Structure 1
Amino acid sequence: MRLSISVVFSSVAGYFLGAEIIDWGIVLLLSVGGYLMVGASNAYNQVLERDLDALMDRTKNRPVASGRMSTTVAMAIAIAFTILGLLTLFYINPQTAMFGGISIFMYVLLYTPLKTKTPLSVFVGAFPGAIPFMLGWVAATNDFGIEPGTLFMIQFFWQFPHFWAIGWFLYDDYKKGGFFMLPTGKRDKGTATQVILYTVWTILISIIPAFGYTGNLFLSPAAAIIVGGLGLFMLYWAIKLYQNRDAKTAKRLMLSSVTYITLLQIVFVVDKFLR
Structure 2
Amino acid sequence: MSSTTVIDKKISLKSTISDLKQLTKVGLSLSVVFSSIAGYLLAVDVVNYNTLFLLSIGGFFMVGASNAFNQVIEKDTDALMKRTMNRPLPTGRMSVSLALTIAVVLTVAGIAILYSINAKSALFGAVSIFLYTCAYTPLKSVTPLAVFVGAFPGAIPFMLGWVAATGQFGVEAGFLFMIQFFWQFPHFWAIGWLQFDEYKKAGFNMLPMNQKDQGATKQIIFYTAIMILVSIAPVLKVTGQFYITPFTAVLVAILGGIMLYYGIVLHRKQTNVEARKLMLASVLYITVVQIVYVVDKFLH
For the aligned pair, the TM-score class normalised by the smaller chain equals over 0.9
Map of 1:40 onto structure 2: 65
Instruction: Provide the C-alpha distance between the structure 1 equivalents of 2:262 and 2:128, rounded to a whole number of angstroms.
Output: 30
Say if 2:196 is the partner of 1:171. yes
1:112 CA drift (Å): 0.3
Map of 1:211 onto structure 2: 236
Q: CA RMSD in A?
A: 0.5
Deviations 1:30-60, CA, capped at 9 Å, x for gaps:
0000000111001000000000000001111
1:194 CA drift (Å): 0.3
Say if 2:44 is the partner of 1:19. yes
Instruction: Provide the C-alpha distance between the structure 1 equivalents of 2:277 and 2:82, rounded to a whole number of angstroms.
Output: 20
Say if 2:163 is the partner of 1:122. no
Map of 2:213 onto structure 1: 188
- Aligned-pair identity (%): 57
Instruction: Provide the C-alpha distance between the structure 1 equivalents of 2:45 and 2:169, rounded to a whole number of angstroms.
Output: 16
Deviations 1:18-37, CA, capped at 9 Å, x for gaps:
11210011111100000001
Q: After superposition, where does 1:1-275 map in structure 2 within 5 Å? A: 1-275=26-300
Instruction: Provide the C-alpha distance between the structure 2 equivalents of 1:134 and 1:213, rounded to a whole number of angstroms.
Output: 17
Count of aligned pairs = 275
Instruction: Provide the C-alpha distance between the structure 1 equivalents of 2:91 and 2:263, rounded to a whole number of angstroms.
Output: 35
Deviations 1:51-89, CA, capped at 9 Å, x for gaps:
000000111111111111000000000000001001100
Output the amino acid matched with 1:114: L
Output the amino acid matched with 2:295: V
1:10 CA drift (Å): 0.2
Please, what TM-score do these two structures have when normalized by structure 2? 0.91
Instruction: Provide the C-alpha distance between the structure 2 equivalents of 1:76 and 1:92, rounded to a whole number of angstroms.
Output: 25
SS at match of 2:206: coil
Runs of 5+ in structure 1 lacking a partner? none
- Give runs of ≥4 in structure 1 deviating > 4 Å: none
Instruction: Provide the C-alpha distance between the structure 1 equivalents of 2:139 and 2:208, rounded to a whole number of angstroms.
Output: 13
Runs of 5+ in structure 2 lacking a partner? 1-25
